[in-house]
Every structure is written in structure tokens, then in C-alpha cells.
Structure 1
């Protein structure tokens, strides 16, 4: 494992040197192997523009390197430039037709284009030409996964991991496929086997810990991560995962200690600082929470979670104007979060910005139409404004999108009653009672005065089991 970290540190140092030379417009000279590592680093972290830049710099220095030409083709495919990728790989095929990487690259292009059967045929062709290459099995897994064939995908990810247990991306994808196909529990033995075969492998214990964590076996996950850390004290990712398990168990103090060890000393990552901030937030230590969120933002101004975190802290302290500032920044960085829009809407409402609040609720239901709280909270504003018809129309929309959500039917019924539309209200109540009788109490929670309505009580009694 230590070797692994040394390798990684070396690669990161090379990447930093490359970026420095590019920034200063200096001529870039590296070994062929260094270029391969730089490109690999960028593709693994999905920075395709930078990967392409590294390919171009490498090819300028080594114009006859088939490896770099193949890399360039693969990066173009990942960027969605299929025609350029295909043309590049066909040029390489003319020079070196039996190179298994030609077939691999054709497979990657086909996977990206959604031509999965074709992709799989190419990868099998590559596997015949190059024995025991974990990356080929990994790509087979990826093609099957993209095709939504999770069982087959899992089979090839396993083959890939048998050859290279250090491929963390393969571990993540395998766990995902097993979860989606509800076969994680049955496959824990696969991960245990690695620790049986090599009890001193920190990676094996770390992977087992992740499997336990995803399977909800938290105590076993803790033990596995602790073993990984015992073998390799500088295994930062294991500390980070152990912290996440503690968060799940609401053991926030223990989580903070582990997050503090999840990076080299004196080099905290924005993620670690943000996570520590969140733990302090859960412990209601508002000033500390804010301080850590702010430190995360100082390191990475684009970190939406940290902006949102400060918003939450301000909100709890009823500093709504400040909260709104931070929530707005969070949604500007990540517009797809219904949680952010709901928080912004509620804070705007607190200071009487009704129009802005409604606009935020509109965005929330656009982003997540199946979030019932967004519909319910938005409708309350319309109802409180005396706009009964608006509240009714909104709830009808919500019910259409989520017909099985009893709470929406009860709320619609309440608004219909408030608007004096009794016949429609009783029809709606019947639907709600059939869906979930016990939730009829909600009706009286919304409008206590309804308890005295005899017709309503009679209707409810008819559905009492």
C-alpha cells in the first residue's frame, strides 16, 4: 500500500510540474511513461480538456508513439468527439493492426456512442489478443453497466479486480452494480476473500470496509477500516470512510477526529473541512461549524455544500438575510439541488419576500417534481394569501405527478373544503382514505376546526377498518 501512495505522490508531483510548465508557457519535456501517467491522472478525474492537452504535448515530443495516439483517440471519445476519435484510431490500426489497444479503443468509442453489443465484441477481441489485462475486463464491465446489464457488469468488474485489487474505480462500480441488482449481501464473500488471501493488504481491508458500509453493516465496516489504518497509518481514504461511518451512526466527535486524519498533515482538503463543519453543525456548535465551512470555501470557492452549510447555520440563528445570501450562492453553483431551493424558499418567506419564495418553490418542483414537501410548502403560501383556487390547482398538479402520495390528497381535500367546494372535497377525501386511512389525522392537523364537521366524520367512519 505504501508503495501505492508513493507512486501516487510521484504522479501528482509530475502533474503539478506539467501544469506549471503549461501555465508559464515553457517547453514541456517528459518521459513517455510520465506523459502516460499525466493523461491517466486526468482521465481518471474526468478532466478531459487537460488530458487532451497532455496528449498533444506528448505527441509533439514523441510523434511516432502509438500509445499516445491511442490515448488521444480515447480522450476524444470520452469528450464525445466520436468522428475525430474514430479517425485517429483507424490511423493507428493501419500502422499496428494487431495492437489490442486498437480494439480496446474501438470498444470505448462504441460504448460512448451507446453501441453496447458492438463495444463488447471489440473488448472480447482485445481480451483474446492480450491475456489477463484488468483494464479490458474493467471496460467490459463499464459497457455492460451502461447497457443496464448489472449482473454481467459485476462479473467483469470482479475479473478486473482479481487481477488488480487496487483499482478503486472498479470497486465503486462493482458495489454500485451489486446494490442496484440487490446482490450486495450475497457478494460480501468476494471482498472477504481478498483479506483472507492477504491479511496484510490495507487495500483489501479498505475495499471490504466499503462493501460492509454499503451493505449497512456498520460495525463490520468500522473494524475493516481500522485494520486498513493499522496496516497503513497514512491511508487517508480509509480515515475518510471511517469518519463517514461514524457520521451515519451520529457519532460526530469520533467522525471529526477521523476527518482530521483524512489528509496529509497541514494539507486539509476542502471536502474534509466541509465535513468537519457539518459535524459541528449537527452538534449545534454554530461558530465552529461556520469557521470550518468558511475555511472550505477559502480553499475552494466553488464548494456549494460549504456555502449551503453556512446558510443553514445562519438560518438556525434566525439571521435570515445572511442565510439568503449563502443559499443563493449555493443554488448558483448547483442548480439541481431541491434541498437548496427549499431552504432558499423558506428563508425568503421568513423575511416576507413572498414573490421570491414562490419563485424558489417553482424551481424546486422543476428540479424534483416528486418532492412532496416542495408542493406542500408552496401551496401553504398561496392558501395563506387567500388564493384558494391557486392552492387547489397546485395540489391537483402534485396529485397528478404523485397519485399514490396520500398526504397530497388530504391537503387537496382541505383546500377544497376551505374553498367551499364540498362535493369535490369528499371525492378527494375518499381517494385519500383508500390510499392511507391513518393519515386522515393530517386533515385536522392542518385545520382543527374541521373536527366538528359531522359529514366529514361520517365519511371517515365509513372507511374505518
Structure 2
């Protein structure tokens, strides 16, 4: 594992040297292997403009290297410049027609263009013309995954990992495909086999831990991450995942200790600081929580989770004006979080900003239309304003999106009763009782005065099992 860190550090040092030379406008000279590492670094971090810049510098120095021309074609494809990418790879095909990377690159271009069947054919052609190469199987996995054929994608990611267990991206994509196709549980053996083959591989234990964690087997995940750390005490990612396991189990003190070990000493990451802040928040240690969230923001001002975290602390202390400031900041940084919009709406409502609260609820339901809380909370606001028809309309809209959500039916029933529309209310109640009888208690939790309604009690009794 440490070798990997050393390799990674060497590559990063080379990348920094390249960037310094470019920034200073100096001539750039590197070994061919160094250039390959620089280009790989940029492409794996989706910095395609930088990758192309490195390709151009490398080709100036090594104009006859087909590898670099192939790299350039692949980077152009990733940038969406398909015509230029195709022209480049066809030039290489004329120079070196038997090079398997020609077929690989044609496959990458086809994948990027959404021509998946064609892409798969190119990659399979490349497999025939070469010894086992993990990157080709990985690309096959990507093509099938983009095609939403997750079972086939998983098959090729596995093949890729058998040849190169160090490919973390392949691990993540495989876990995703197994999750989406609901086959993670039945594939845990695949990850276990790596630890059987090499019990002293920290990486194998780490990957097994990730698989257990994603499968919801938290205790097994903890054991796997502990083995990884036993083999390599400085395996920072394993400490981070172990901390997340403890968070899942609400063991926040242990989580804090692991998050503190999830980075090199003295160089905390904004993510680690934010996670520690959240643990203190869960423990209702407001001052400590705020301090860590603030440290995260000092390191990275775009850390929306930390801004949101301080908002939550302010809200818990009933400092709603301050909470609004932090929630608005979080939403401005990441406006696709239903949770952020709901928190902002609630805070606005607390200080009587009804128009702003409604606007935030509107955003919440636009962002996550299938999240019932947005619709329910918004409807309560209208109900409390005496706007029963508005509340009814909202529930009907919500039910069009989530027709089998019993809670929405019960709430609609209550609003219809409040509006004096009894026949509709009883019809709605029948649907709700059919969907989930036990949730009828919600009706009385919201509106205790309904318990005295005889007709309602009789109807509920008819559905009692």
C-alpha cells in the first residue's frame, strides 16, 4: 500500500513540475513515461483541458510517439470533440494498423457519442488482439454501464479487477452497478476472494469493507476496515470509511477519533473537519460543532455541507435569523438539495417570512417532487393560513406523483374535512385505510379534534383487521 502512496506522490511531484514550467512559460522537457503519467493524472481527475495541454507539449517533444497521438485522440473524445478525435485516431491507424489501442480509442469515441453497441464491438476487437489488459475490460464495463446494462458492466469490471485489483475507479463503478441491479449481496464473495488470495493486502480488505458497507453489513465492514488499518496504519481512506461506519451506528465519539486519523497529521481535509463538526452536532455539542464547521469553511469556502451544518446549529438554538443566513449560503452553493430548501423554508416560516417560506417549499418540491415532506410542510403552512383549498390542491398534486403514499391520503382527508367536503374526505380515508391502516393514527396526531367524530370512527372500525 505504501508503495502506491510513494508512486502517487512521485506522479503529483511530476505534475507540479509540469505546471510550474507551463506557468513560467519555460520549455517543458520530460521522459515519455512522465508525460504518460501527467496525462493519466489529468484524465482521471477529468481535467481534460490540462490533459490536452500535456498531450500537445509531449507531442512537440516526441512527435513520432503513437502512444501520445492515441492519448491526444482519447482526450479529445472526452472533451466531446469527436470529429478531431476520429481524425486523429484514423491517422494513427494508417501508421500502425495492428495497434490494439486504435480499436480501444474508437471504442472510447463511440462510448462518448452514445453509440454503445459499436463501442462494445470495438473493445471486444481490441481484447482479441492483445494479451489480457485491465483497461480494455474496464472500458467495456463503462460502455455497458453507460448503456444501462449493469449486469454486463459488472462482469467486465470484475474481469478488469482480477487483472488489476488496484483500480479504485473500477471498484467504485462495480459497486455502483451491483447496487443498481440489486446484486451486491450475492457478489460479496467476489471481494472476499481477494482477501483470501492475499490476506496481507490492505487494499483488498479496504475494498471488501466498502462492499460490506454498501450492502448495509456495517459490523462486517468495520472488521474489514480494521484489518486494512492493522496492515497499514496510515491508510487514510480506511480510517474515513471506518468513521462513516461508526456514524451509521450513531457511535459519534469513535467516529470523531477515526475522522481525525483520515488525513496526514497536521493537514486536515475540509471533508474530515465537516464530518467531525457533524458528529459534535449529533451530540448536541453546539460550540464544538460550529468550530469544526467553521474550520472546514476556512479551508474551502464552497463547502455547502459546512454552511448548512452551522445553519442547523443556529436553528437548534432557535436563532432563526442567523440560521437563514447560513441556509441561504448553502442553497446558493448547492441548489439541488431538498434538505437545504426544507430547512430554509422552516426557518423563514419561524420568523414569519411566509412569502419566502412558500418560495423555498416550491423549490424543495421542484427539486425533489417525490419527497413527501416538502408537500406536507408546505400544505400545513397554507392550512394554518386558513387556505384549505390551497392545501387540498397541493396534496392532490403530491398524490399524482406518489399515489401510494398513505400519509398524503390521510393529510388530504383532514384538509377535506376542514373544508367541509365530507363525501370526498370519506372516499379519501377509505383509500388511505386500504393502503396502510396503521397510519390512521397520523390523522389524530395532526388533528386531535377529529377523534370525537363518530362517522370517522365508524369508518375506521370497518377497516380494522
TM category (shorter chain) comes to over 0.9
Shift of residue 61, structure 1, vs aligned partner: 3.1
Shift of residue 26, structure 1, vs aligned partner: 3.6
Distance in 1 between residues matched to 2:271 and 2:250, nearest whole Å? 19
Distance in 2 between residues matched to 1:449 and 1:35, nearest whole Å? 75
Partner of 1:285: 285
Q: 1:12 aligned to 2:16?
A: no
Return the TM-score normalized by structure 2: 0.96
Distance in 1 between residues matched to 2:278 and 2:215, nearest whole Å? 24
Partner of 2:85: 85
| 3-state SS in 2 of match to 1:63 | coil
Q: Return 32-41 or 364-373, whichever deviates more.
A: 32-41
Partner of 2:105: 105
CA offsets per residue over residues 247-299 of structure 1, 9 Å max, x none? Answer: 11111111111111111111111111111111111111111111111111111
Distance in 2 between residues matched to 1:27 and 1:384, nearest whole Å? 70
Q: 1:125 aligned to 2:125?
A: yes
Partner of 1:35: 35
Q: 1:228 aligned to 2:228?
A: yes
Shift of residue 322, structure 1, vs aligned partner: 1.4
| 3-state SS in 2 of match to 1:29 | coil
CA offsets per residue over residues 308-340 of structure 1, 9 Å max, x none? Answer: 111111111111111111111111111111111
Distance 1:75 1:129, change over 3 A: same
Distance in 1 between residues matched to 2:245 and 2:129, nearest whole Å? 43
Partner of 1:258: 258
Q: Return 214-223 or 21-30, whichever deviates more.
A: 21-30
Structure 2 counterparts to residues 91-170 of structure 1, below 5 A: 91-170=91-170
Distance in 1 between residues matched to 2:297 and 2:70, nearest whole Å? 39
CA offsets per residue over residues 343-389 of structure 1, 9 Å max, x none? Answer: 11111111111111110110111010000000000011111111111
Shift of residue 54, structure 1, vs aligned partner: 2.3
| 3-state SS in 2 of match to 1:228 | helix
The runs of 5 or more residues in structure 2 that have no matched partner are none
Partner of 2:374: 374
Partner of 2:59: 59
Distance in 2 between residues matched to 1:31 and 1:326, nearest whole Å? 49
| 3-state SS in 1 of match to 2:233 | coil
Q: Return 194-203 or 117-126, whichever deviates more.
A: 194-203
| 3-state SS in 2 of match to 1:239 | helix
Structure 2 counterparts to residues 161-240 of structure 1, below 5 A: 161-240=161-240
Partner of 1:48: 48
CA offsets per residue over residues 82-138 of structure 1, 9 Å max, x none? Answer: 222222222222222221111111111111222111111101111122211100011
Partner of 2:74: 74
Partner of 1:363: 363
Shift of residue 19, structure 1, vs aligned partner: 2.7
Q: 1:459 aligned to 2:451?
A: no
Q: Return 339-348 or 177-186, whichever deviates more.
A: 177-186
Structure 2 counterparts to residues 207-356 of structure 1, below 5 A: 207-356=207-356
Q: Return 130-139 or 245-254, whichever deviates more.
A: 245-254
Distance 1:329 1:63, change over 3 A: farther
Size of the alignment, in residue pairs?
465
Distance in 1 between residues matched to 2:141 and 2:404, nearest whole Å? 36
Partner of 2:417: 417
Return the TM-score normalized by structure 1: 0.96
Distance in 1 between residues matched to 2:442 and 2:176, nearest whole Å? 38
Distance in 2 between residues matched to 1:245 and 1:239, nearest whole Å? 10
Distance 1:17 1:310, change over 3 A: farther
Distance in 1 between residues matched to 2:219 and 2:436, nearest whole Å? 36
The runs of 5 or more residues in structure 1 that have no matched partner are none
Distance 1:315 1:21, change over 3 A: farther
Distance in 1 between residues matched to 2:59 and 2:292, nearest whole Å? 44
Distance in 1 between residues matched to 2:113 and 2:128, nearest whole Å? 23
CA offsets per residue over residues 7-35 of structure 1, 9 Å max, x none? Answer: 00111122222233333444333222222
